[in-house]
Chains A and B, each alone.
Chain A
């Protein structure tokens, strides 16, 4: 489904700011894999997401989707297969447009946009049904501007917009990090639900170890631009936070020390 082969990203090569963000990274996702990604600040998690989605181009190596190299395709071209939800709740929606209009934009992922009317009765009805999945009452606010929604509501909408057209690959980059704990929990549960329902191949970055363990069937840990741990489905069940910390110490010979990693 998704293959990352020998990908290296070197920012500002040959300057004092040179930074090896990804170093010869290999990763292979099978269809309907749900992989959680953990790692300290600056480990290269977001860079990896940006390379997959086409925001950044790899300096070496390639990205394949369904066996086809997509290195040359721009972000908007890859969006046919790849959906994203960002950390910032503002990032995934258009605030001065209504909920229905936002969904209508998302609905055309991978399709040509024409001079057809963007909304009609059937579409609105369909959007209403989809919004009901979220269970937070947005189905009654179809004509409200998205700018009026709370961060949690927006993130729930972003998640729906990213997933309801069933993209091949879903990329989530700390998409619950900016929310308060109860909202984060809500989005986390919704994520699990939609990923299962739509059977999406998913890569989810999180700083919350408990969340990384609870969600998904596979877990990888990144450090200094490399994948240093890859826990397969067979071992992921029954994994504890202590196990992870032990593994990390064993591999790196040091204690995992990162304020942003939530142990709970």
Chain B
């Protein structure tokens, strides 16, 4: 029973992290832009929504404002990279550091509690969380899918795939990069806003390591569920985010130390990145050995080609 409860909790939390993972999917996979802004913008979304809720704004408005704040942060990262010609990793790191101070400014203190406040989840009747939230998350996924199949979405995907080509067809890649990074961080921040409301507080350090968690979700999802089409890939990311939470919950059940979680996450990412390569090279080796046998069998013992 206790185990079931823990599992349920991890699925609930996983659902809230799906938007963050989809954001990371946009930057890492679609734009091929390893964006570290995420660590800061996750907290920004949490901070903005928490502060607004304590000021009495409607939770939905507060959550959407979190999205906008994250998108604004992403826009700046995009500008640093495209107009400032700063390397993409560095643009993200600079923004992440800047956001730490900005997030403190937004909250005025390192922690904003939300106990007793009404949140977006207050609207959900008891016991319906795992019914309503998945529907909402799937709707978000489908909207993202649809967006990625519009003309602008095509331009965005081609920007990550082949910048030179898409420019030669009239697309300003600076604009598409900025748009993509803004959208990515908007989703990440909205995820932060949801997590803050779920756990009942926003905390200055809640975004630490978020980029690796997002990446772990993307990679786990892709490894298990495949990513041939956009539809499949976003589905994989969605499920990956939930599986990741379940893995972490199981690790905790096995009495693993909570402090070691980040290390475990890092190991998961490394394993998920390396295993497919090993698998592939084993497969190739086996195919080559088979081929060698085949080739040798056409040659008789004296080295002549028996087919000749």
Q: Which residues of A are in contact with B by a Cβ distance under 8 Å?
A: 53, 74-77, 79-80, 83-84, 86, 90-97, 101-102, 104-106, 108-111, 113-119, 161-162
Contacts and interface: CB of A to CB of B under 8 A. Distances in A.
B300 interface: no
A113 B171 contact: yes
Contact of A96 (B146, B153, B161, B173): B161
Contacts of A118: 149-151, 153-154
A86 B164 CA distance: 10
A74 B152 CA distance: 20
B266 to A, nearest CB: 27
A94 B150 contact: no
B123 to A, nearest CB: 29
Interface in B111-165: 146-147, 149-155, 157-158, 161-162, 164-165
Contacts of A111: 170
Contact of B165 (A92, A114, A119): A92
A95 B151 contact: no
A79 B168 contact: yes
Given A91-B164, A93-B165, A76 B154 contact: no
Contacts, number: 85
A117 B150 contact: yes
B7 interface: no
Contact of B157 (A96, A108, A110): A96
Contacts of B150: 114-118
A27 B251 CA distance: 71
Given A104-B154, A118-B150, A118-B151, A97 B170 contact: no
B298 to A, nearest CB: 27
9 contacts: A94-B161, A94-B166, A95-B162, A96-B161, A105-B166, A110-B170, A113-B155, A114-B152, A118-B151
Top 6 closest pairs, chain A to chain B, by CB: A113-B151, A79-B170, A94-B161, A94-B158, A118-B154, A115-B150
Contact of B168 (A83, A95, A116): A83
Contacts of A93: 162, 165
A188 B146 CA distance: 39
Given A113-B155, A117-B149, 14 more contacts: A77-B170, A79-B167, A91-B162, A92-B168, A93-B165, A95-B162, A96-B161, A97-B157, A97-B161, A105-B158, A105-B166, A113-B171, A115-B150, A118-B153
Contacts of A76: 167-168, 170-173
Contacts of A91: 162, 164-165
Interface of B: 146-147, 149-155, 157-158, 161-162, 164-173
A174 to B, nearest CB: 16
A133 to B, nearest CB: 19
A83 B164 CA distance: 12
Contacts of B158: 94, 97, 102, 105
Nearest to A113: B151
B151 A108 contact: yes
A105 B147 contact: no
A105 B153 CA distance: 10
A114 B149 CA distance: 11
A108 B170 contact: yes
B83 to A, nearest CB: 13
A93 B155 CA distance: 12
Contacts of B161: 94-97
A161 B165 CA distance: 10
B6 to A, nearest CB: 38
Contacts of A95: 161-162
A84 B162 contact: no
Nearest to A85: B168
A107 to B, nearest CB: 9
B153 to A, nearest CB: 7
Contact of A109 (B146, B153, B157, B169): B169
Contacts of A162: 168
- Which has the most chain B C-beta neighbours within 10 Å: A86, A102, A111, A114? A102
